[in-house]
Structure 1
Amino acid sequence: MNYFKNLGLGNLLMLVLCALIILVAEYLFLTGDTEHGLFVGLWAPTLLGVMIYLKLVENGSK
């Protein structure tokens, strides 16, 4: 539980959002809408990249 406290509420919400995006992309892909599934599936790595960038900027200013 201490890990989630250190992670922070904002980062935890972003990770939950990424998991939800992956589930929606899988649903779209498996129901036959492959192009939309791939498009939506690329949002999760983009959000994770933004999270990493913001964490690097925050740590660089200290």
Structure 2
Amino acid sequence: MNVFKKLGPSNAFMLVLCAIIILVAEYLFLTGDQLHAIFIGLWAPTLLGVVIFIKQITNGR
């Protein structure tokens, strides 16, 4: 739990959200809906990229 305290609530929420997105994409892929799984699976790196971009903007000020 100490790791989540260091991350902060917003970063921990984004990591959990990305993990859920990856699990949903894997479920869809294994049940035979490959195109939707690939589409949803691309959300996780996009969200992480947006978070990194926002952090760089706020740390630059």
The residue identity in structure 2 corresponding to 1:14 is M
Structure 1 residue 51 and structure 2 residue 51: aligned? yes
Please give the residue correspondences for 1:24-43 in structure 2 after superposition, counting only pairs within 5 Å.
Answer: 24-43=24-43
CA deviation after TM superposition for structure 1 residue 6, in Å: 2.6
**Which runs of structure 1 show a deviation greater than 4 angstroms over 4 or more consecutive aligned residues?**
none
CA distance in 2, matches of 1:5, 1:23: 24
Q: Which structure 2 residue ranges, 5 or more long, are not aligned?
A: none
CA distance in 1, matches of 2:19, 2:33: 19
CA deviation after TM superposition for structure 1 residue 8, in Å: 1.1
CA distance in 2, matches of 1:15, 1:43: 12
Aligned length: 60
Q: Which structure 1 residue ranges, 5 or more long, are not aligned?
A: none
- 1:23-42 deviation line (CA, Å, top 9, x unaligned): 00000001000000000000
- Say what the alpha-carbon RMSD is for the aligned residues: 0.8
The residue identity in structure 1 corresponding to 2:5 is K
